[in-house]
Amino acid sequence: MSRPDYAEKIPNNVGLAEDRRLRRALESWQPDFLSWWETMGPALPTQDVYLRTAIDVRGEGWAQFGHVPMRDYRWGIFLADRNPDRRIAFGQHKGDPAWQKVPGEYRAELQRLIVIQGDTEPASVEQQRNLGATAPSLYDLRNLFQVNVEEGRHLWAMVYLLHAYFGREGRAEAEELLHRNSGSQDSPRILGAFNEETPDWLSFYMFTYFTDRDGKYQLGTLKESAFDPLSRTCEFMLKEEAHHMMVGTTGVDRVVERTAQVMIENDTDDVAALGAIPLNVIQKYLNFHYSVSLDLFGGETSTNVANYYTAGLKGRWLEERRKDDHQLTSDSIMVDALVDGAIGQTEVMALTGLNTDLRREYIADCSGGVKRWNKILADAGLPQRLYLPHVAFNRKVGAFAGIEASPGGEMLSAGEWAARRGQWLPTGTDKTFVRSLMRPVYERGKIAAWVAPPRNGINSQPFDYDYVHLA
Ligand SMILES: [Fe+2]
Ligand SMILES: [Fe+2]
């Protein structure tokens, strides 16, 4: 069954109509979700927003677009189609049929993986709660809300799994997902980057580029899971995630484009007084978001992750395209490490180095963004370039957590770091400056001065379309 049933109170393609107990459990979680959305979701009052809603899980026409009051958005449960012949692609159960139920021996680990993924989804909605007040255009405002409703739906996706497969404990975890809050003193979100603020739109574009992209890679590993319902859930989430990546990629494109324009027109690097964001400030924001996102991949080595892989719970990025035995019991990998106190690498078992493998896939993907932003600079005739900082820069997790390094990868004493960090990470002054540019532009077809308009609108609509009706 691929087409969701919209006659149900909770739209779904998992046959909720036939499972009264599960349906009742989820329907009793639904009002809690809605009150969370009201108190922690987008703060800007709107009448309606031009949003896409999934109507299928396959092919081109999987979503429909229309103006909807956000409160009435049809958050639902959509899994990619089941492949009845699917077999486990890696680990010690390689070749066995994929699991339709949770094996008792892996219950705790699977639940933990789902909770950690689930926790990030509402966290980003909370982080972005106040951005509507300063949107640079109605187009951007609509994209923010689209990302928000879909992160809300991703929470539904994980809560469905908890309710359907993890009994009473799963239901308790589903409640907790609404009680923890981003940045809260008493009950913060699980992962560090999801407790950082997203106070301005440059941060939002960087977040959707770098941090949502971490999400893409995590989902990619869970899509390989032997637990088939988790795999199918993640497969469909990845389809939605592509739009979030687009918002980040083109968002940074447009900031760089505008900055380049103002630099050329005025023949200066110092564009702050002209209402654009200087390239060095863009670089500092990039440094920050990239380095905190690298931390999300965990330590360079992990026996937990090795065990998840061997058990079949979590695979590698594009597992089935890898040309090896998919068990990795006799392979090795070089991972980043402190070697005699210096930044270096060391060889470990491939299984324990899986976090490094995933982080490297992610880094390669991130360098694609830098390439396109540099092309914008080159095409404008500017010699300056953006770059990804060294993997040891500003790390709080893993081998380099205890040291300080420059973006070039040079080790620094605590004193040198303290003296120079303001050259590399946003300072209070930089943040205040960026915030000072953030004034809302809610007029159709208009845009703030610090960012270029997009090349294309949404769903073939023009840029000056009425994407959002404010209340
Ligand atoms: Fe998500
Ligand atoms: Fe996302």
| Tens of pLDDT, residues 439-471 | 999 999 999 999 999 999 999 999 999 999 999
Structure tokens at 230: 């988790």
Taking the centre of ligand 1 as the mean of its atom positions, its distance from the CA of residue 232, in whole angstroms, is 15
Q: With a cut of 60, say whether residue 87 has pLDDT above it.
A: yes
How buried is residue 28: exposed, middle or buried, by Cβ count under 10 Å (0-12/13-18/19+)? exposed
Q: Looking at the CA of 204, which ligand is closest?
A: 2
Taking the centre of ligand 2 as the mean of its atom positions, its distance from the CA of residue 417, in whole angstroms, is 33
Q: Please write the tens of the pLDDT for every residue from 339-366.
A: 999 999 999 999 999 999 999 999 999 9
Q: With a cut of 60, say whether residue 424 has pLDDT above it.
A: yes
pLDDT of residue 334: 98
Taking the centre of ligand 2 as the mean of its atom positions, its distance from the CA of residue 7, in whole angstroms, is 27
Q: Looking at the CA of 237, which ligand is closest?
A: 1
Q: Tell me how far apart the 2 most distant CA atoms of the chain are, in Å.
A: 68
CA separation for the pair 274, 334 (Å, rounded) = 47
How buried is residue 427: exposed, middle or buried, by Cβ count under 10 Å (0-12/13-18/19+)? middle
pLDDT of residue 60: 74
- List the one residue out of 170, 146, 148, 147 whose CA is nearest residue 159: 170
Q: With a cut of 80, say whether residue 2 has pLDDT above it.
A: no
Q: Please write the tens of the pLDDT for every residue from 176-213.
A: 999 999 999 999 999 988 998 899 999 999 999 999 99
* Overall pTM surpassing 0.85 (yes/no): yes
Structure tokens at 179: 């009680």
For helices 107-127 and 303-311, the axis angle rounded to 10 degrees is 110
CA separation for the pair 210, 403 (Å, rounded) = 23
User: CB 270: neighbour CB atoms within 10 A?
Assistant: 12
Rounded average pLDDT over 380-386: 98
CA separation for the pair 293, 192 (Å, rounded) = 9
Taking the centre of ligand 1 as the mean of its atom positions, its distance from the CA of residue 212, in whole angstroms, is 7
Taking the centre of ligand 1 as the mean of its atom positions, its distance from the CA of residue 445, in whole angstroms, is 29
Taking the centre of ligand 2 as the mean of its atom positions, its distance from the CA of residue 244, in whole angstroms, is 5
Lowest mean pLDDT among 127-141, 192-206, 369-383: 192-206
What one-character DSSP code corresponds to residue 52? E
3-state helix, strand, coil in the chain (%, to 5): 50, 10, 40
pLDDT of residue 61: 74
Within its chain, how far is the Cα of 150 from the centroid?
11
In the block, which residue shows the tokens 């703030």? 448
Q: Return residues with CB closer than 5 A to ligand 1 (ion).
A: 121, 151, 154
User: CB 196: neighbour CB atoms within 10 A?
Assistant: 18
Taking the centre of ligand 1 as the mean of its atom positions, its distance from the CA of residue 213, in whole angstroms, is 10
Taking the centre of ligand 1 as the mean of its atom positions, its distance from the CA of residue 121, in whole angstroms, is 5
Q: With a cut of 80, say whether residue 59 has pLDDT above it.
A: no
Rounded to 5°, angle at Cα 227 from 226 and 232: 100
Taking the centre of ligand 1 as the mean of its atom positions, its distance from the CA of residue 154, in whole angstroms, is 5
Structure tokens at 271: 């564009």
Q: Please write the tens of the pLDDT for every residue from 218-251.
A: 999 999 999 999 999 999 999 999 999 999 999 9
Residues above pLDDT 70, as percent of the chain: 100
Q: With a cut of 70, say whether residue 1 has pLDDT above it.
A: no
Taking the centre of ligand 1 as the mean of its atom positions, its distance from the CA of residue 326, in whole angstroms, is 27
Dihedral of the CA atoms 54, 56, 58, 59 (nearest 10)? Answer: -70
Average model confidence (pLDDT) for the chain? 96
Secondary structure (3-state) at 202: helix
pLDDT of residue 361: 98
